[in-house]
Amino acid sequence: MGDNAVSTPARGLSGRESFAQRLLAGSVKKSYDPVVDLDWDAPLDPDKLFLPPEVISLFGTPLWDAMTPEQRRELSRQELANVLSVGIWFENLLNRLLLRELMAGDPTSRHAHYTLTEMGDECRHMMMFGKLIDRIEARPYWPNRFERWTISALQQLLRGSMVWVGALVGEEIFDALQRRTLDDPQLQPLVARAMRIHVTEEARHIGFARDALAHRAPSMSKAETLYTRLCVAVAAPLFVYLMTNWHIYVRAGIEDGRAARRMARANPHSRRALGLGAANLGAYLDEQGLMGPIGKRVWRRRGLL
């Protein structure tokens, strides 16, 4: 009787457990192993970009207009390497946070089992990102000493509701951008395939984080709500900072990388792309009462609302 209750998906599960059970079932039906599900030996197309033009940070600027097709392709290669590097940092941090959450959870619960499933997905994503950086013959953009210290400190700062807010900020904005570019004919086929794998599995991760946050938000104390709102406000400039690393432009052959970064951050096309990516997340956080007036002001200033 007890064994059947554990192995049979379940009548009588709570809403949170029932949702986790559905995610587990979805993971069984559609998950990927990037080692075998991507053709790593396929040649790269010498004429295709590594990111679609509209999500490249300098798209539409005078600097972009003056670039040759080869220079644009190289900039797209460097920006992809940076995005993938940031993804590796983030998913490394997220797995550490999820592992800590498991220490206080019930290891027999569906919620714990899906947490472990997600961690496995994220490990495969980190490997996929690393292999893709290597395949496009780029170098990773690794954090400097201060950034490493900040990432380590986040393990202590992101607790409770902020585990799930952090997960959503890291996953949802980039996921929305990916979805807009999956079928772009200018994109390298290998990159498009990797993005499709990531989008498919991240959809479950986003749903899991949203569900966890929705269950926690109504019972949060005033202090936790205020702290979460402050962290939400800080998350916006941090995200923009990480996406516009000045070293990208230097490696792409632009002499003044810092000037190029300033142009990228002021670029209305880039801000519009980020805003479209962040729109659903901003609305969701506002619905949960976690997007305070300071957060709205900061997100608007950074082009995320």
Q: Could you read off the pLDDT of 96-115 as tens digits, one per residue?
A: 999 998 998 899 999 999 99
Quote the pLDDT of residue 11: 54
Quote the pLDDT of residue 67: 97
- As a whole number of angstroms, the distance between CA 110 and CA 22 comes to 9
Percent residues over pLDDT 90 in the chain: 65
With a CB cutoff of 8 Å and minimum separation 6, the contacts of 172 are: 206, 277, 278, 280, 281
**What token pair was written down for 3?**
């064994």
Enumerate domains of the chain plus CATH numbers: 55-301 (1.10.620.20)
Please, is 7 exposed, middle or buried when counting C-beta atoms within 10 Å of its C-beta (0-12, 13-18, 19+)?
Answer: exposed
Please, is 142 exposed, middle or buried when counting C-beta atoms within 10 Å of its C-beta (0-12, 13-18, 19+)?
Answer: exposed
Residue 205 has pLDDT above 70, yes or no: yes
Q: What is the pTM of this model?
A: 0.90
Mean pLDDT for 175-201 is 89
- In tens, the pLDDT along 54-67 reads 889 999 999 999 99
Mean confidence (pLDDT) of the chain: 89
Residue 17 has pLDDT above 80, yes or no: yes
Residue 71 has pLDDT above 60, yes or no: yes
- As a whole number of angstroms, the distance between CA 239 and CA 40 comes to 30
Neighbours of 41 (CB within 10 A): 7
Mean pLDDT for 182-199 is 92
Quote the pLDDT of residue 172: 87
Instruction: Give residue 42's pLDDT band: very low, low, confident or very high (50, 70, 90).
Output: very high
- In tens, the pLDDT along 115-148 reads 999 999 999 999 999 999 999 999 999 888 887 8
Residue 179 has pLDDT above 50, yes or no: yes
**What token pair was written down for 73?**
């392709």
Quote the pLDDT of residue 8: 45
- As a whole number of angstroms, the distance between CA 200 and CA 145 comes to 34
User: Which range scores top for mean pLDDT: 73-87, 161-175, 259-273?
Assistant: 73-87
**What token pair was written down for 48?**
């295709």
Neighbours of 76 (CB within 10 A): 25
Quote the pLDDT of residue 35: 92
- As a whole number of angstroms, the distance between CA 129 and CA 141 comes to 12
Mean pLDDT for 10-24 is 83
Mean pLDDT for 211-229 is 92
